[in-house]
Amino acid sequence: MIRDQFGDVTLYNGDALAVLSDMPDESVDAVLTDPPYSSGGVTITARQADPASKYQKSGTMRRYPPMLGDAKDQRSWTAWCMIWLGQCWRVARDGSPLMVFTDWRQLPAMSDAVQGAGWKWLGIVPWDKRNARPQIGKFRQQCEYVLYACKGSLLLGTRACLPGLYSCPVVSAQKVHLTSKPVSLIRELLAITRSDGIVLDPFMGGGSVGIACREAGRGYVGIELSPEYYAISRERIRKI
Ligand SMILES: C[S@@+](CC[C@H](N)C(=O)[O-])C[C@H]1O[C@@H](n2cnc3c(N)ncnc32)[C@H](O)[C@@H]1O
């Protein structure tokens, strides 16, 4: 397993479960992550399709390195989420917030997994992506969701009253990953975390959470299975 450390950033190229199980108890102050959704259809064939065909608008020419771990069926995905969320719970200090991205299809399963892993569910923060795929005669699936929860009683990281939803477009030119989240959105979400804390992200992808943590002065522990995405995110985070 590859490990890099600079400043208060620690990065691992490996499987989230293997890395998490080696991390000490109560060693991070927040978990903010964006796991593979294994979404995109109700049949196993649809779920096992190439993530580019599931998550990209048809006709998009841009290609990204392959995204791993996105083809589980419903029950195995939910069970897997509960296992890594349980590891995150163990690794988080008491009072830590958890923020985990999901889409409309996986929202019910993710809320089961979050609570089954021991987290106290506090709510859902919709993320309005603005530029979702139009669908004739149907509502756009314009939002993804951040489920938020805490370990024990939430230790307040701010006295500010935070918004209940965020509207933030994905800027294609800034994307390095098929499912990149905007750094500006992550910066907003970090408001709930302690300013001197360490944020854990077991599914680093192109590094949006890591970049936002560096910009906001948070420590960061990131894990990514794909060597290609690991190299991309390490360089992006290191540059900040
Ligand atoms: C939804 S993406 C994260 C995108 C990221 N938030 C961004 O803005 O770039 C999920 C990432 O998890 C990685 N992944 C999948 N299975 C994994 C595993 N078992 N351990 C660690 N990373 C994994 C995928 O390769 C993918 O890059």
Evaluate: CB of 106 within 6 angstroms of ligand 1. no
pTM of the model: 0.92
Cα of 92 to ligand 1 centre, how many Å?
Answer: 20
- Cα 226 to ligand 1 centroid, rounded to whole Å: 8
Domain count, the chain: 1
* Ligand 1 site, residue 102, Cβ cutoff 6 A: no
By the 8 A CB rule, do 143 and 126 touch? yes
Residue 158 in contact with residue 196, Cβ under 8 Å? Answer: no
Domain of 114, CATH number, reads 3.40.50.150
List all residues 6 or more positions away from 4 whose beta carbon is below 8 Å from its beta carbon.
10, 11, 234
> Does residue 44 form part of some domain?
no
Establish whether residue 193 lines the binding site of ligand 1, counting it when its CB lies within 6 angstroms of any ligand atom. Answer: no
Q: What is the pLDDT along the chain (240 residues), one digit of tens a residue?
A: 899 999 999 999 999 999 999 999 999 999 999 999 998 766 666 666 666 666 666 556 677 877 778 788 899 999 999 999 999 999 999 999 999 999 999 999 999 999 999 999 999 999 999 988 899 999 999 999 999 999 999 999 999 999 999 999 988 878 888 889 999 999 999 999 999 999 999 999 999 999 999 999 999 999 999 999 999 999 999 998
Structure tokens at 3: 């490990």
Expressed as residue numbers, the domain containing 153 is: 2-39+68-239
Does 13 contact ligand 1 (Cβ within 6 A)?
A: no
